[in-house]
Amino acid sequence: MKRREFIGIGAAALLPGLLVAREGRVKTPLMLDTKRFAIHDGPGVRTTFFVKGCPLKCVWCHNPESIKDEAQWARFQHLCQHHATCTMDEATCPTRALKLYGKPWTIDALVKKALEDKPFYDRTGGGVTLSGGEPLRFWEWAYDFFAACRAAGLHTCLDTSLYAPPLAIEKMLPVTDMWLPDYKAEDDALHARHTGVSNKIIKKNLERLVAAKAKLEVRMLIVPGCTDGADIRARHDYLRSIGIADKDVVELEYFDYARSKYLALGMPDTMPEKKEPVRL
């Protein structure tokens, strides 16, 4: 993070008093990463910001560094040369074996970063996507961030598990141009076993988005041995039954590339084996 990104910004000026008064009062996430020129996170060219913190614990999570709210050090052993002078500092590690996940950003700094690529959004219908982790874990902050994006003329997209209180959905509806909800499993016991939570609130929130005629693209990750087989068709059937068209549903292939991150973070590797999914 560059310190100069904290100064001379426009969002607080665009929403006088609001952000300044609320920052420090609402639950604010640490940020994990910024992806510029993203083309799979909503329409057009986008900047995607990733928050740290998620109430789910999906066994297949490909961003295990995004689950805990707190900052975490990771040590990538294959890069570590065990320097006697190791100071556990990301900036000074000569082999980049050390990484600190989770850094504070202000809303103003994020908006300023996003505005760097506004000409590309304007040409392609793109904008800003908020992902994670789970952005709705910090929904008051997410509301302020999207309100600031809107005030700066930026299209907003929310990548979410929808595991959040219904109040969060109501608040986010007016400032969210497009929703990218996951639908991880139709069978509730299956959902709970592999993500740690029931899908009941997720379905309720999804049905609310449909009732509100929100623009949606539902993502269905197919995890072999976990959420393949009969659950694929059951998910499609449910989504059709609540009025979501097939063209607004995308199946995502599972990859197990994140194993080194589990190791580096000292977390048990829970990722299922990558193989062909079963379709019934």
Binding site for ligand SF4 (CB under 6 A): 54, 56-58, 61, 63, 66-67, 132-134, 161
| Distance set, CA 51 to CA 25, 34, 117, 273, 277 (Å) | 18, 9, 20, 27, 30
The nearest distance, CB 180 to ligand SF4, in angstroms, is 12
The nearest distance, CB 61 to ligand SF4, in angstroms, is 3
The nearest distance, CB 56 to ligand SF4, in angstroms, is 4
The nearest distance, CB 21 to ligand SF4, in angstroms, is 30
- With respect to ligand SF4, which residue has the nearer C-beta, 146 or 183? 183
Q: What phi and psi, each to the nearest 5 degrees, are found at residue 220?
A: -120, 105
The nearest distance, CB 116 to ligand SF4, in angstroms, is 26
- CA 225, 229, 231, 235 torsion-angle sign: positive
CA–CA dist 96, 129 (Å, integer): 28
- With respect to ligand SF4, which residue has the nearer C-beta, 1 or 252? 252
Q: What phi and psi, each to the nearest 5 degrees, are found at residue 196?
A: 90, -5
Q: Token pair 């910090």 is at which residue?
A: 138
- With respect to ligand SF4, which residue has the nearer C-beta, 63 or 176? 63
The bridge status of strand 98-101 relative to strand 127-131 is unpaired
The nearest distance, CB 138 to ligand SF4, in angstroms, is 13
- With respect to ligand SF4, which residue has the nearer C-beta, 86 or 263? 263
CA–CA dist 160, 253 (Å, integer): 18
- With respect to ligand SF4, which residue has the nearer C-beta, 10 or 277? 277
Beta bridge pairs of residue 130: 49, 158
- CA 161, 166, 167, 169 torsion-angle sign: positive
- With respect to ligand SF4, which residue has the nearer C-beta, 62 or 118? 62
- With respect to ligand SF4, which residue has the nearer C-beta, 58 or 147? 58
- Tokens in use for 56? 């789910």
Degrees, nearest 5: CA angle 106-54-184: 130
- With respect to ligand SF4, which residue has the nearer C-beta, 97 or 195? 195
CA–CA dist 158, 220 (Å, integer): 16
Contact 73, 89 (CB under 8 A): no
In terms of Cβ atoms closer than 10 Å to its own Cβ (0-12, 13-18, 19+), residue 137 is: buried
The nearest distance, CB 185 to ligand SF4, in angstroms, is 11
The nearest distance, CB 6 to ligand SF4, in angstroms, is 27
